[in-house]
Structure 1
Amino acid sequence: MILSVLFYSFVVFTAIQIIYYLVFSSFLFDSKKDKKKSKEIPISVIVCAKNEAKNLENFLPSILNQEYADFEVVLINDASSDETLEVMESFQKKHSKIKIINVENIEAFWGNKKYALTLGIKAAKNENLLFTDADCKPVSKKWIYEMAQNFNAKKTIVLGYGKYKKEKSFVNLFVRFETLLTAIQYFSYSKIGSPYMAVGRNLAYDRSEFFNVKGFINHMHIKSGDDDLFIQDAANKENTTIATSKDSFTESLAPTSFTEWFRQKRRHISTADHYKFKHKFFLGLFFISKVFFFLLAILLFFFYPWQFVLPIFLTYYFVQFIVIGLSSKKLNEPTITYLLPFLEIGLLIFHFSIFITNLSSKPNHWK
């Protein structure tokens, strides 16, 4: 009797997982028919940097050399203690497109990236804003163009993909898989009309959207979330779209150790507590159903006829391999699919450890 209950529970959790992956596949069919090519609109690229002198030297040229006629680059020095400001000023002497905002720490907003970003947004001269980080570079000279082409009269928020550079290490493999899976989720949720997050490494929106929700005021006290918590406030099915062309991606250097990645993800995941209930529910259900899928599969393989368990287990992986495989191809992460079971279980353990750690303490600063 108990084994039968466990088996049918396994069937239910498998069905839930398959439904999720079918929903995730929605972004694969991103239609271009409503994205008419038009003249280049003025764009303000905003880069907030804190102690990023070296990264600015390496990556800022890839932004300045974009093949786009009308854009400015707003560089925000967020109270850096290194030579970040000096590097910005050296670039400004050579490029008229650069505007520098030098932010000094004040007690009320110490260590708060949102305060620095707010000053940069107010200083930008253009309505359409495109955000990236100092440690990122566009993968092509068409980045601004590809992101900007998604703006129209209705679509005023554009979610982009911020990938990580491929390196030969286990850490890099896990980081890129987690980044891919996250992108699949926020792209697909947006496609079905329920956008819930974005990544600040590649995000664009109209300045009017920022002021419509009074900027970051609802979560200014939270050190992280300038991207996903803003989307929680401002995005809806009418005003949000996604950019999935390969030329629209940005690329960053991935964390080089599990410790560094752990600290980074703790900060990101801590903002999920402030999501809308429906988003917390469905994201939580995806994680919990996956945990029970694996726990019950292991148990039933030992104590239940394998002839019933194995086909269900393989059906799950068949659907998952197709969706993740097509998604990784679309987002230019093809090698990930080959190690999918290993990466999936490892990521579950990683996320669970972050959840436990965040119960006792919260990250305080963005840098």
Structure 2
Amino acid sequence: MIVFYVLFYIFVVVILVQLFFYAYVFSKVKQKSHSNISTDRPFISVIVCAKNEANNLEKFLPSILNQDYPDFEVVLINDSSTDGTLRVMERFKAMHSNIKIVNVKNIEAFWGNKKYALTLGIKAATHNHLLFTDADCKPVSNQWIAEMSRCFSKDHRIVLGYGAYAKVKKSFINKLIRFDTLMTAVQYFSYSRLGQPFMGVGRNLAYTKELFFEARGFMDHMHIKSGDDDLFVNQIATAENTVICLSKNSFTESPSKKSYSDWIIQKRRHITTAKHYKLRHKAMLTLFYLSQFLFLTLSIALISTLFYWEVVVGLISLRYIVLFITLTLAAKKLEEKDLIPLFPILEIFLIVSQFSIFIKNLISKPNRWK
């Protein structure tokens, strides 16, 4: 019987931790954007790094080239592709004078390293303000560059944007991927608002070329093949130099993985970089994910034994009420409203998936980049 008392009190602590995150930390996404938006329209270099992305460039590059912005160039980086990527780039360049191509060939020291290719592209960029996206991404509006660039200021030299995944009707895996993306965004937006920015996503990220070279580029983690976006932001972002952009016109959208197994492989690659975050960031992320796992397992254990079941059910209900309030506001802000009715189910699947990924990553290391 004493075991059940111990589990019950651990459960109470876990609920308090969860309420702290959902009621306080994650509530920051619902707040209005910063009021000190710049009216300047700086010259922008949009950077797209592509490896074997011929088809995606054909499909998505026009949405970048058709942006309603007076002064921007598009730097296309061909990272040692073996398909028709370079030919597609050259064809677009023949039609658009604001395209610059950087053709990267593998060298032994940086074989298959996306950071090396990105570094060459950044060096080739004409302008100081850099805006990054992926070859399979498209801005949701022709105001993407305008909205992201407005967030730059004398102090704000990093802009964190939202990179959504396209909705697929009647697809549970698509909803799970989008829920995971929503939860990730809620975290990095909220922590940035709290003065603790810790990551960004390369699908929609901006920073200055000047800041990149002040930080010695990717040199501090060049040996780690992943993390050209989140590790770099984790390294250089501060409360003073980072701002978030929540304007709906600033979002980008990418096609999501179609199968659960493909998504798990992608997710494993992304998660491996987290162990290289700063200690305080690893601690806060670990605390949240551990509390998620303990909430699920202890809820099942205590309800199945009916130990103090009235209190347990009450605490679970309180936790879900707070979760629904916070995530509903965030989902509306980030245009993910269709996920709201499925929050409890999606959360359970996500917790189980994350635990599975954790075990798999302990056994073997995933690969990175194409």
Shift of 1:360: 2.2
SS at the partner of 1:130? strand
SS at the partner of 2:75? strand
2:253 to 242, 246, 251: 251
CA distance in 1, matches of 2:340, 2:76: 37
SS at the partner of 1:93? helix
2:40 — aligned with what?
A: 39
Per mean C-alpha deviation after superposition, the further-off stretch among 352-361 and 240-249 is: 352-361
CA distance in 2, matches of 1:20, 1:235: 22
SS at the partner of 2:167? coil
2:297 — aligned with what?
A: 295
Q: Equivalent pairs: percent with the same residue?
A: 58
2:3 is matched by which residue type in structure 1?
A: I
1:359 to 362, 367, 370: 362
1:346 — aligned with what?
A: 349
2:134 is matched by which residue type in structure 1?
A: D
CA distance in 1, matches of 2:45, 2:143: 15
CA distance in 2, matches of 1:56, 1:124: 19
Q: Deviations over 1:298-326 (max 9, x none)?
A: 12113313221111110000000011111
Q: How many residues align?
A: 366
2:168 — aligned with what?
A: 167
Given that residues 60 and 136 in structure 2 are in contact (C-alpha distance below 8 angstroms), is that contact kept between their aligned partners in structure 1? yes
Q: Deviations over 1:106-125 (max 9, x none)?
A: 11111110000000000001
2:320 — aligned with what?
A: 317
Given that residues 33 and 246 in structure 2 are in contact (C-alpha distance below 8 angstroms), is that contact kept between their aligned partners in structure 1? no
Given that residues 33 and 245 in structure 2 are in contact (C-alpha distance below 8 angstroms), is that contact kept between their aligned partners in structure 1? no
CA distance in 1, matches of 2:308, 2:299: 11
2:113 is matched by which residue type in structure 1?
A: N
2:132 — aligned with what?
A: 131
CA distance in 2, matches of 1:346, 1:184: 18
Shift of 1:341: 1.0
1:74 — aligned with what?
A: 75
1:161 is matched by which residue type in structure 2?
A: Y
1:331 — aligned with what?
A: 334
CA distance in 2, matches of 1:112, 1:143: 28
2:206 — aligned with what?
A: 204
1:155 — aligned with what?
A: 156
TM-score (normalised: structure 1) = 0.98
1:112 — aligned with what?
A: 113
Shift of 1:328: 0.4
CA distance in 1, matches of 2:131, 2:226: 19
SS at the partner of 1:45? strand
2:223 is matched by which residue type in structure 1?
A: H
Give unpaired runs (5+ residues) of structure 1: none
SS at the partner of 2:227? coil
Q: Deviations over 1:190-249 (max 9, x none)?
A: 110111111000000011111111000011111110001001111011100001110000
Please give the root-mean-square deviation of Cα atoms over the aligned residues, in Å.
Answer: 1.0
1:286 — aligned with what?
A: 288
Shift of 1:364: 3.1
Shift of 1:30: 3.4
